[in-house]
A and B are shown apart, each in its own frame.
Chain A
């Protein structure tokens, strides 16, 4: 079983549209599993028409709770908290649950034993069925922490099912950025497909995401989306990839058909199979498949 992760650094370069197209194309050749690792803003389900089979709660971390009847206003909790999560009040200190990291430092320093930690339900995760294969996805509640932990959980379930059922490929649609959820999405991948765009921001962020996947020793391929928006930057990315010894597996044009397909809730390769965009994506998939087999 191989694991392909789709990343970008910069947001909005087309990760999810590419992931949906690859899911459509790959599933015609092999049994696959899908995982949406962008748990902050999970969009893959919007273009895969899934049927939800299971829903589970996700316990993120813990949060401190102060018993106002026991609080003697000594202020120790306020002094030791490094996350500005303790708020002074007239008759008791209070906890800002959004700022609290659940470290429990205040719990140990309260001489009255007035503070304890409670587990927090931080989100939900789902197992769904799509016409291309099972999809594992999640919803991290607004303003919650531990998105990396939820990404790991979603991927782990995808991986286990793939192994159980002898499915050959796990496609992971990753989050933007380079921080904790990205590192979790990238962990254990056999190959990373980096979707970039020919803009100063796209180039800048490509360097950082490539540094990140290199750091964790995952081989990478690059795909330029909206390549015709700036031929100059596209040429720059080509030169950069050559210098880095990274293969460029394709260039997609800017095409409003991608948005049209999204509005219809379909992968673009299904929505307009005869179009230039679908053709370019089939070539990308052929190259990705070849690298996965190596």
Chain B
């Protein structure tokens, strides 16, 4: 099962939920010598934490590593392919500039100006050059890092400071660590918002878990996130209400009216805030939450199963 954890509004607790869900699925507390208790519904491989992939797709502000502390043993630079012109072949016909919808190439007299920050790496200029005078070079926009967080396979993307485009990094992160059949559970931690980076993260997921808080801002942005996940991408959604008890009843009323299941509630708790502040995962600071995250996982499985049965 591929689970995308998203929110619309920032700071609602996406990373808190995503990391604790992953850790709860490994069942065995790190540093603990107690034998793991195998919950129902998990395979042996899954219960040992093998077969869990965690991808932090919030490449603008990747924070999951602060809570999972993976040993990152692989790093590579990524970006997009941008054109370079071979002046021995170029006749300055201007065809490349004509086909570039991003205005990333301009032909001025006997010079071809290329603006990598405008280029989307589509390759249309290369294909359309009648002289074969364009080849492409990697324009580095960020990096991918991966390794193991205990038994969890971990990867994240990092957009370089000053770079604008997050989507190519997310795309390459997901291309490198294909979520899906190789793993029992893949957890994708999304960025806040509702535009292209969030869509790129949700694409291919089986279930979208939306983390919100019961406030007017939380509700407003939850509605938008539901529009993306359920209405545009046709994915099943469920809600986690974080800091339950603050604010008002708007989120509950909305979920009831829309038939969206609230799968978990996490109360406002000073102990949680302190743990998160210090980079400690929720289920590690408060182990009593471990079974609740397993229950959350079971509920998502149940939602998926009932959806498959529906006509």
Q: Do A and B bind each other?
A: yes
Q: Which residues 203-217 in B have Cβ within 8 Å of A in the complex?
A: 203, 215-217
**Chain B residues with CB below 8 A from A179, complex form:** 60, 159, 163-166, 197
The interface stretch among B5-13, B39-47, B83-91, B253-261 is: B5-13
Report which of B124, B195, B221, B231 forms a contact with A104, defined as CB distance below 8 A.
B124
Contact status B247-A208, CB under 8 Å: no
Provide the B1-26 mask, 1 if CB < 8 A to any CB of A, else 0: 00000011111100100000000000
The interface-forming segment of B115-123, B284-292, B296-304 is B115-123
Partner of B215, one of A83, A176, A259: A259
Query: A residues 220-274 with Cβ under 8 Å of B?
Result: 229-230, 232-233, 254, 256, 259, 262-263, 265
What are the interface flags for B24-67 relative to A under an 8 Å C-beta threshold, 1 for contact and 0 otherwise?
00000000000000000000000000000000000011010010
Interface string of A181-195 (1 = CB under 8 A from B): 111000000000000
Contact of B101 among A16, A62, A147 (CB under 8 A): A62
Interface residues on B, range: 35 or more
Expressed in whole angstroms, the Cα–Cα distance for A10 and B193 within the complex equals: 12
B183 to chain A, nearest CB (A): 20
With both beta carbons as reference points, the residue of chain A lying nearest to B221 in the complex is identified as A41
CB of B279 closer than 8 Å to a CB of A: yes
Question: Is B197 in contact with A11, judged by CB distance below 8 angstroms?
Answer: no
A259 to B218, CA, bound (A): 11
Q: Does A198 contact B (CB under 8 A)?
A: yes
Chain A min CB distance to B256 (Å): 19
Knowing A179-B163, A262-B217 are in contact, say whether A204-B246 is a contact too (CB < 8 A). Answer: no
In chain A between 163 and 179, which residues have their CB closer than 8 angstroms to a CB of chain B?
A: 175-179
Report chain B residues within 8 Å CB of A201: 15, 61, 63, 66, 276
In the bound complex, how far is the Cα of B169 from the Cα of A235, in angstroms? 34
Query: Which of A101, A109, A259 meets B120, CB within 8 Å?
Result: A101
Give bound CA distance, A80 to B122, whole Å. 8
Q: Which residue of A lies closest to B63 (CB)?
A: A201
Minimum Cβ distance to chain B for residue A53 (Å): 21
A47 (CB) vs chain B CBs: closest residue: B216
B93 at interface, CB cutoff 8 A: no
| Contact-residue bracket for chain A | 35 or more
Task: Confirm or deny: A13 has a beta carbon within 8 angstroms of a beta carbon on chain B.
Answer: yes
> For A111, what are the chain B residues with a Cβ–Cβ distance below 8 Å?
none
Residues in B whose Cβ lies below 8 Å from that of A200: 63, 66, 277-279
Residue A92 interfacial (CB < 8 Å): no
Q: Is A12 touching B10 in the complex (CB atoms < 8 A)?
A: yes
Confirm or deny: A27 has a beta carbon within 8 angstroms of a beta carbon on chain B: no
Q: Name which residue of chain B comes closest to A42, CB basis.
A: B220
Nearest chain A residue, comparing its CB with the CB of B67: A200
Interface residues of A in 1-59 (CB under 8 A from B): 8-13, 16, 40-41, 43, 46
CA of A199 to CA of B7, assembled, Å:
19
Residues in B neighbouring A108, C-beta threshold 8 A:
99, 124, 127-128
The residues of A that contact B70 with a CB separation of less than 8 Å are none
Cβ A80 vs Cβ B123 within 8 A: yes
Report the minimum CB–CB distance from B162 to chain A (whole Å).
Answer: 4
Specify which of B165, B231, B277 lies most central, judged by the most chain A CB atoms within 10 Å of its CB: B277
Q: Are A262 and B162 in contact (CB under 8 A)?
A: no
Contact with A along B94-106 (1 / 0, CB 8 A): 0000010110000
Q: Judging by beta carbons under 8 Å apart, are B194 and A265 in contact? A: no
Q: Which of B203, B217, B247, B273 contacts A99 (CB 8 A)?
A: B203
Q: Is the CB of B277 within 8 A of A230?
A: yes
**Which residues of B have CB within 8 Å of A133?**
none
How far is B159's CA from A243's CA once the two chains are assembled, in angstroms? 24
With A103-B124, A104-B99 as given contacts, are A12 and B11 in contact (CB-CB < 8 Å)? yes
> A142, B232: Cβ atoms under 8 Å?
yes
B123 touches A105 (CB 8 A): yes
Residue A219 CB within 8 A of the other chain: no
Known contacts A41-B220, A103-B120, A201-B63: A11-B161 contact under CB 8 Å: no
- Contact B195–A176 (Cβ < 8 Å): no
If A82-B123, A179-B166, A211-B161 touch, whether A204 touches B199 (CB-CB below 8 Å) is no
A147 touches B195 (CB 8 A): yes
Nearest CB in chain B to that of A211: its residue: B161
Q: Contact at B220–A43, with CB atoms within 8 Å? A: yes
A263 to B251 CA separation, bound complex (whole angstroms): 12
Q: How far is the CA of A262 from the CA of B217 in the complex (A)?
A: 8
Residue B191 at the chain A interface, CB threshold 8 Å: yes
CB <8 Å contact, A41 and B274: no
Question: In the assembled complex, how far is the CB of residue B81 from the closest CB belonging to chain A, in whole angstroms?
Answer: 8
Are A103 and B101 touching (Cβ within 8 A)?
yes
Q: Known contacts A178-B159, A204-B63; is A10 also within 8 Å of B11 by CB?
A: yes
Q: Which of A41, A103, A178, A259 is packed against the most chain B CB atoms within 10 Å?
A: A41
A143 touching B162, Cβ below 8 Å: no
- Known: A12-B10, A142-B232, A212-B162. Is A177-B277 also a contact (CB below 8 A)? no
The CA of A117 and the CA of B231, in the complex, are separated in Å by 24
Question: Within 8 Å of chain B (Cβ to Cβ): is A130?
Answer: no
Task: Give A residues with C-beta under 8 Å from B.
Answer: 8-13, 16, 40-41, 43, 46, 61-62, 80, 82-83, 98-99, 101-105, 108-109, 117, 140, 142-145, 147-148, 175-183, 198-201, 204-205, 208, 211-212, 215-216, 229-230, 232-233, 254, 256, 259, 262-263, 265
Ranked 7 nearest A-B pairs via Cβ = A11-B10, A12-B11, A103-B122, A177-B60, A40-B193, A142-B227, A105-B124
Besides A40-B193, A103-B102, A205-B63, 7 more A-B contacts (Cβ < 8 Å) are: A40-B194, A41-B9, A98-B203, A140-B195, A144-B196, A147-B193, A176-B11
